[in-house]
Amino acid sequence: MSEKDFYIETIENLPALYNTNQNMRDQFAAVFMEFLQLQHLYQSAIEVVKTHLGIIDSEFSVKFQRNPIHNIESRLKSPESIIGKLQKKGLPLTPESAQKNLLDMAGIRVTCCYISDIYEIVNLLSRRDDYVILKQKDYIKNPKPSGYRSYHMIINVPVYLSAQKKYAPVEVQIRTMAMDFWASLEHQLRYKQSAAITPEISEELRECAERIAETDLQMQRLFMEISDLD
């Protein structure tokens, strides 16, 4: 049985669809299949960029005996949050609409050691001639009012499928370990107990971000001083 037939049979047997007509069940199955293919495409685009980043990192360790990348995380947006975001924006709930309007369905977070590593990686990603940079925002030079810092890129990544080449946008967030420390805790605090975040607390969180940014600069300076001695 093909994967498609498997899903169609499963859908046909869903109690919620017992009283619907065949046409509706076919439509439902078609959308479901389209969505699965979209997920596969976006997951593949993540793999392309992760492999590329891994090659850059290992090349650095061969050439310069150090790793600019500390960690790489990735995620595909869940169907629940895709639907939630489309609903919030008042957009149609279809795979085409998600593809057109949500540029962060595929996400990669790269944590680097030093600020200079971030720009090195941005340059290397920008130089690849098969990537199309759709958007980029430097929240390091221009931090968000919250204090948030990171470099964001949305890259349209080619994926070579069996029959054709397709592009999928991948959101890449590049930050230092220090920026990641702040963003992770701030996110936890803000989204878990958002009601408790007073303007005073927001201001304190921004101050923490500033202090962490100073430390990042200091570590960068130490790194450059020590590298010069090599």
List of residues contacting Mg ion (CB under 5 A): 104
Contact between 187 and ligand GTP (CB under 6 A)?
yes
187 binds, among ligand GTP, Mg ion, none (CB under 5 to 8 A by kind): ligand GTP
Q: Pattern of binders to ligand GTP over 93-112, x per CB under 6 A? A: -----------x--------
- What is the identity of the amino acid at 167? Y
Give the three-state DSSP class for 55.
helix
Are residues 154 and 169 in contact, defined by beta-carbon separation less than 8 angstroms? yes
39 binds, among Mg ion, ligand GTP, none (CB under 5 to 8 A by kind): none
Are residues 141 and 118 in contact, defined by beta-carbon separation less than 8 angstroms? no
Question: What CA–CA distances, in Å, run from 141 to 51, 147, 182?
Answer: 28, 11, 16
How far apart are alpha carbons 111 and 90 in whole angstroms?
A: 34
Looking up tokens 């420390």 gives 181
98 binds, among ligand GTP, Mg ion, none (CB under 5 to 8 A by kind): none
**β-sheet with 165-176: strand ranges across:** 69-76, 106-112, 165-176, 151-160, 132-138
Are residues 73 and 108 in contact, defined by beta-carbon separation less than 8 angstroms? yes
Token couple for 100: 């057109």
Query: In the complex, what is the shortest distance from the CB of residue 171 to Mg ion, in angstroms, rounded to a whole number?
Result: 7
The residue (of 36 and 103) whose beta carbon lies closer to ligand GTP is 103
The residue (of 8 and 82) whose beta carbon lies closer to ligand GTP is 82
Contact between 74 and ligand GTP (CB under 6 A)?
no
Give the three-state DSSP class for 159.
strand
Contact between 156 and ligand GTP (CB under 6 A)?
no
Report the 10 Å Cβ neighbour count for 27: 12
Indicate the residue whose CB is closest to Mg ion.
Answer: 104
Query: In the complex, what is the shortest distance from the CB of residue 157 to ligand GTP, in angstroms, rounded to a whole number?
Result: 18
Q: Pattern of binders to ligand GTP over 110-149, x per CB under 6 A? A: ---------------------------x------x-x-x-
Positions that interact with ligand GTP (CB under 6 A): 104, 137, 144, 146, 148, 152, 183, 186-187
